[in-house]
Structure 1
Amino acid sequence: MSNPDLNLLITLDAVLAEGSVTRAAKRLRLSPSAMSRALARLRETTGDPLLVRAGRGLVPTPRAIELREHVAQLVRDAQEALRPAELLDLETLERTFAVRTSEGFAENFGPALIAHVAQKAPGVRLFFMQKPDKDSKPLRDGIVDLETGVIDLASAPELRGQALFRDNYIGVVRATHPLSRGTITSEKYAAGMHISVSREGLEKGPLDDALLLLGLQRRVVTIVGGFSTALGLARGSDLIATVPERHTASLRDGMYSFPLPFHMPEFTVSLLWHPRFSADPAHRWLRDLILHVCKKGE
């Protein structure tokens, strides 16, 4: 069976609504001959005469009466679907956005984001979801609107992304920690008691690889799943937390932060989303807002 010409729905809607071939032609701005050909095609497609003569006029057949409201609704739905996107009215927008982030992002950037949203779009809510792994399946499945992370976008061509900021690792200890006084060398850093941050529970990572190149090894005494937890432990003990600088800026108040005494490469934190949301005005507004908040502190 060949696909029907869906343009005929518009013609059928006009014919059924007007009950007159002449008025339907005028409504669609068609010539009488073009309208007659269209009606012939409709009759062939539906297998029904649709309009039949009764005296000096035309009356709809039972099949035409049955189709009238259904066809009218189909045309209205099609027109609604194809209508250009309306201007975004933030004051009346009602929507909840799910943002999947690593621990620390919401604590650091969340307050400013929530304040901006409350001021511009009071009907919008942000749902900050935990990010237990790097699997972007929730984005692909539409469960999540946005996600932050360190990712090579070339390895995920089905996603869209935008760089938020560059970051680097620093060391953090409590204000009265012995490392808060004097010069911090690689040897002093490695000799301390350390917190390893790993969602997978791993003891060693890139930091340990960098120290190994110097012939050093740090002593990890505990492993946590996120940066804010690491900072909380370091704040109340002699442990050393090594965390991203910008990612944790507001979480380190009252603590002593220092540059690592060895080289660790910078990295880019990006905002990710699925292409299905690329043209959505509200989604685009939130992406721009997150970028604005993250760039503001640079």
Structure 2
Amino acid sequence: MENMDFNLLRALDVLLEEVSVTRAAYRLGLSISAMSRTLTRLRSATGDPLLVRAGRHLVPTPYALKIRENVHALTRDVRTILCPQQQEMNLKKLDRTFVLRANEGFLSVAAAPLVTAIMKGAPQVRLRFAPKPDKDALPLREGRIDLEIGVLGVSAPEIRTRLLFRDAFVGAARIGHSLFIDDDISVARYAACSHVAASRRGTFRGPVDDALEQLGYQRTVSVVVPGFPEALEIVRQSDLVTHVPRSCLAACSDSSAGIPGLRLFQLPVQTPEIAISAMWHPRFDADPAHQWLRDTVQAVCRQVFASCR
């Protein structure tokens, strides 16, 4: 098929409809001589004269009459495939299942308002939240995940991303901890504490350790837990300290009294900003339903995590 010129199909359709080189040239925006050359090419390609002179006019051959309807239908189908018309999506009738992957911290804060927004806009849509054991892009590539939410990691180069919100770490210790002997928490006093670290991979080292090392300090991580809620609960009942993303505090706090038994503080070291993004495969770029899903997730995040920006 590499030798086929599909522009000829459109020209053939117009020629068989107009049965006139002049009128066909006008419709296609070509000169009469260019249209005549196109007819010559069509005759060569089909092995049939297609249009022959009868007095001052052209008439279709039996073969041209035979293929005319098929050519018109084929041209319409090709145009539909290669130049799809944008149709307005009816969200109320959208019947689809979306699979989202995010960690427990995000879900504990944003899942409920996200579900509410999705159900309000598209009541027949179904959501499935998948676990996020790692940052592997393979589920996105294979279409098993529609949208992933989290920190960018090792990813495929084609994966599309959209920033949802920016987050930052804050420290936490129990009320009455010796760390709060005065309001100015020094790096030395902070580093001297025993720490709880939250890591799905079970690692003892993180961004805080890098920041302390640059200042010549080293901390002791006594406990590693999978998630931030567990870290906060341990800290609340011990003399250990921890740090958590500001975004996760909404799920652990009382709206009027903060987190019972805990006091938050600004870390005495600078840690990198946390960028939380939505990630998807480019196969969904032009999908109106997926575009709506991405826009809805972004709108919910802007509302829920407004304090993190």
Query: How much does 1:6 deviate?
Result: 0.6
Residue 100, structure 1, aligned to residue 101, structure 2: yes
Which residue does 1:129 correspond to in 2? 130
Equivalent in the alignment of 2:4: 4
* Structure-1 residue corresponding to 2:19: 21
| Structure 2 residue identity aligned to 1:162 | R
Closer, same or farther: CA 141–182 of 1 in aligned 2, 3 Å: same
Alignment of 1:46 with 2:50, yes or no, is: no
Deviation at 1:95, TM superposition (A): 2.7
CA distance in 1, matches of 2:173, 2:101: 28
Partners of 1:179 and 1:189 lie apart in 2 by: 14
Residue among 244, 255, 258 paired with 2:264: 258
- What corresponds to 2:294 in structure 1? 287
Superposition CA RMSD, Å:
4.4
Please name the residue that 2:165 is paired with.
165
> For the Cα contact (< 8 Å) 1:170–1:257, is it kept in 2?
no
Range with bigger deviation, 195-204 or 270-279: 270-279
CA deviation digits over 1:122-156, x for unaligned, max 9? Answer: 12233323222233344345443332233389x97
**Structure 1 counterpart of 2:133, which letter?**
P
Aligned residue for 1:204, secondary structure, equals: coil
**Matched position secondary structure for 2:205:** coil
Secondary structure in structure 2 of the residue aligned to 1:104: helix
Partner AA of 1:21 in structure 2: V
Q: Is the 8 A contact 2:171 2:267 kept in 1?
A: no
Query: What amino acid is aligned across from residue 90 of structure 2 in structure 1?
Result: D
Q: Does residue 150 of structure 1 match 2:151?
A: yes
- Structure 1 match to 2:76: 75
User: Cα 1:52–1:83, aligned 2, differ >3 Å: closer, same or farther?
Assistant: same
Which whole-Å deviations, capped at 9, do the CAs of 1:41-85 have from their partners, x for residues lacking one?
A: 3332133556899xxx75644x98589548724632432541342
Matched letter for residue 268 of structure 2? F
User: What's the counterpart of residue 245 of structure 2?
Assistant: 244
Equivalent residue of 1:271, what SS?
strand
Task: Please report how far the alpha carbon of residue 289 of structure 1 lies from its aligned counterpart in structure 2 after TM superposition.
Answer: 2.0
Q: Cα 1:50–1:129, aligned 2, differ >3 Å: closer, same or farther?
A: farther
Cα–Cα, structure 1 residues 104 and 180, in superposed 2: closer, same or farther, change >3 Å?
farther
Instruction: Note the C-alpha offset of 1:173.
Output: 6.1
- After TM superposition, the score normalised by the length of structure 1 is 0.72
Unaligned runs of 5+ in 2: 54-58
Task: Encode CA deviations 1:140-177: one digit per residue, 9 max, x unaligned.
Answer: 45443332233389x97644433222212234567xx7
Q: CA deviation at 1:257?
A: 4.6
Rounded Cα–Cα distance in structure 2 between residues aligned with 1:260 and 1:159: 35
Structure 1's unaligned 5+ residue stretches are none
1:119 Cα deviation after fit = 0.7
Find the aligned partners of 2:20 and 2:84 in 1 and give their Cα distance.
28
CA pair 125-172 structure 1, distance change in 2 beyond 3 A = farther
TM-score by length of 2: 0.70
User: What is the one-letter code of the residue matched to 2:289?
Assistant: A
SS at match of 1:170: strand
Q: Distance in 2 between matches of 1:152 and 1:39?
A: 57
SS in 1 for 2:161: strand
User: Any idea what the Cα deviations from partners look like across 1:243-292, whole Å, max 9, x if unmatched?
Assistant: 21114422344542512542242322222334444444333332222222
Q: What's the counterpart of residue 218 of structure 1? A: 220
- Pair 1:180–1:134, CA change in 2 (3 A): farther
Please say if residues 199 and 224 of structure 2, whose CA atoms lie closer than 8 Å, have aligned partners that are also in contact.
Answer: no
Assess, with a 3 A threshold, how the Cα gap between structure 1 residues 229 and 10 changes in structure 2: closer, same or farther: farther
Q: Give the share of equivalent positions with the same residue, in percent.
A: 40
Equivalent pairs counted in the alignment come to: 288
Tell me if the contact between 2:10 and 2:75 (Cα under 8 Å) persists in the aligned partners: no
CA contact (8 A) 1:103 1:227 kept: no
CA contact under 8 A between 2:99 and 2:146: conserved in structure 1? Answer: yes
Question: Do the aligned partners of 1:8 and 1:38 also contact (CA within 8 Å) in 2?
Answer: yes
Q: Distance in 2 between matches of 1:46 and 1:180?
A: 91
Residues in 1 aligned to 2:139 and 2:219: alpha-carbon distance in whole angstroms: 37
Distance 1:230 1:123, change over 3 A: farther
**Structure 2 residue 269 is matched with structure 1 residue 268:** no
1:202 touches 1:223 (CA, 8 Å); kept in 2?
no
Query: 3-state SS of the aligned residue for 2:4?
Result: coil
How far off is 1:112 after superposition? 0.6
